[in-house]
Amino acid sequence: MNKTVLVLVETVDDYLPLLEQAGYRLIRAPSPQMRADAIARHAGEIDAVLTRGPLGLTAAEIEALPGLQIICVIGAGYEQVDLAAAFARGITVTNGAGANAGPVADHAMALLLALLRDIPRADASTRRGEWNRVISPSVSGKRLGVIGLGAVGQAIARRASLGFDMSVSYHSRTPRADVPYTWYDSPLHLADAVDVLVVATPGGAGTRHLVDGAVLEALGAEGYLVNIARASVVDTSALVLALQNGGIAGAALDVFDDEPLVPEVLRGLGNTVLTPHVAGQSPEAARDTVALVLRNLQGFFGGGGVVTPVLG
């Protein structure tokens, strides 16, 4: 396939040869400066862009690429891709819905377990030669609430329900008839009904600060928050306040507002577990992600249609 792909992502390098083996020419530009230089030097050559939600693709960049036909986003979220600009040009946009759902759900459960069972502090104190046998809450039997029941949300729900005997409820825009879980019409009502609230919905203007101070208050002093989606879904200021004053028991976060910077106040709190946006990263997930990109590119340029379109 004699097409050129501008690659803005930096997390799937080991599997990019799958695209090259299929005949695609890759221009790798994983840093802001390399990205600007690549667009300036190769604008007329680029047929496709490979990006991810937080990296996006701006209206100005889209305008600067006269031959651009398709934008492939790895991961489910595409919040920083200017969809209006893309669709105005007739450019197809795809995402990676479901490709890394398993690893993200695994990580969500790992964070949940680490948070409730206080694993990081137990590990640290044991390494210091201490023997602090602190009593921590059980996970089994807890009430789990999931905001967003897409591929990731469903994978988390299955693990919690089948693996830990947790009752599962969820909030999404409309109830789903194909799942055995209880639907709530708002994050506020969901938070009021659960012990652990997991954020698994895409970012963007439509979900900004879905979890605000009122939702955290409803979750309560014995409640826990886990976010493996996008930081923008949670009001960070309200979360910090709730963590500091005992409004909630704890939070486990894989995403932050200004990555890679993590607020010092969060790093200093003892009731948080923090990881550097790695929930969706595993060799298996990277392989499956690039394979899905390849299927979308082959379907698009081959005339058969894309597999995971983002609709306007």
Q: Is residue 196 within a helix (H) or strand (E), and if so which, with residue range? A: strand 196-199
Q: Are residues 130 and 18 in the same domain?
A: no
Q: Are residues 146 and 10 in the same domain?
A: no
Q: Mapping DSSP to helix (H, G, I), strand (E, B) and coil, where does residue 155 land?
A: helix
Within a domain: residue 255? yes
Distance CA 223, CA 194 (A): 8
Q: Are residues 77 and 119 in the same domain?
A: no
Q: Are residues 81 and 176 in the same domain?
A: no
Instruction: State the pLDDT at residue 1.
Output: 67
Q: Are residues 240 and 120 in the same domain?
A: yes
Q: Are residues 133 and 62 in the same domain?
A: no
Within a domain: residue 200? yes
* Per-residue tens of pLDDT for the chain, all 312 residues: 699 999 999 889 999 999 999 999 999 999 999 999 999 999 999 999 999 999 999 999 999 999 999 999 998 889 999 999 999 999 999 999 899 999 999 999 999 999 999 999 999 999 999 999 999 999 999 999 999 999 999 999 999 999 999 999 999 999 999 999 999 999 999 999 999 999 999 998 999 999 999 999 999 999 999 999 999 999 999 999 999 999 999 999 999 999 999 999 999 999 999 999 999 999 999 999 999 999 999 999 999 999 999 997
Q: Are residues 48 and 182 in the same domain?
A: no
Within a domain: residue 182? yes
Q: Are residues 41 and 180 in the same domain?
A: no
Task: Count other C-beta atoms under 10 Å from residue 212's C-beta.
Answer: 17
20 labelled catalytic: no
Provide the domain count of the chain.
2
Q: Are residues 76 and 193 in the same domain?
A: no
259 labelled catalytic: yes
User: For position 197, which CATH number holds?
Assistant: 3.40.50.720
Within a domain: residue 312? no
Catalytic residue among 35, 107, 171, 277: 277
Instruction: State the pLDDT at residue 307.
Output: 96
Distance CA 230, CA 104 (A): 12
Contacts 24+ apart (CB under 8 A), 270-279: 270/121, 271/243, 272/243, 273/111, 273/114, 273/115, 273/119, 273/120, 275/107, 275/111, 278/107, 278/254, 279/103, 279/104, 279/107, 279/108, 279/228, 279/254
Q: Are residues 211 and 125 in the same domain?
A: yes
Catalytic residue among 20, 130, 259, 284: 259
Q: Are residues 71 and 216 in the same domain?
A: no
Which residue range is the domain that position 34 belongs to? 4-99+282-302
209 labelled catalytic: no
Q: Mapping DSSP to helix (H, G, I), strand (E, B) and coil, where does residue 295 land?
A: helix
Q: Is residue 288 within a helix (H) or strand (E), and if so which, with residue range? A: helix 283-302
Within a domain: residue 116? yes
Within a domain: residue 307? no
Within a domain: residue 309? no
Torsion region of 220: left, alpha or beta (phi above 0 gives left; psi -120 to 50 gives alpha) = left
Residue 280 has what DSSP assignment?
T
Q: Are residues 108 and 213 in the same domain?
A: yes
Within a domain: residue 310? no
Instruction: State the pLDDT at residue 76.
Output: 87
303: which residues sit within 8 A by CB, 6+ positions away? none
Instruction: State the pLDDT at residue 97.
Output: 85
Catalytic residue among 230, 264, 284, 295: 230
Q: Mapping DSSP to helix (H, G, I), strand (E, B) and coil, where does residue 156 land?
A: helix
Q: Mapping DSSP to helix (H, G, I), strand (E, B) and coil, where does residue 32 land?
A: helix
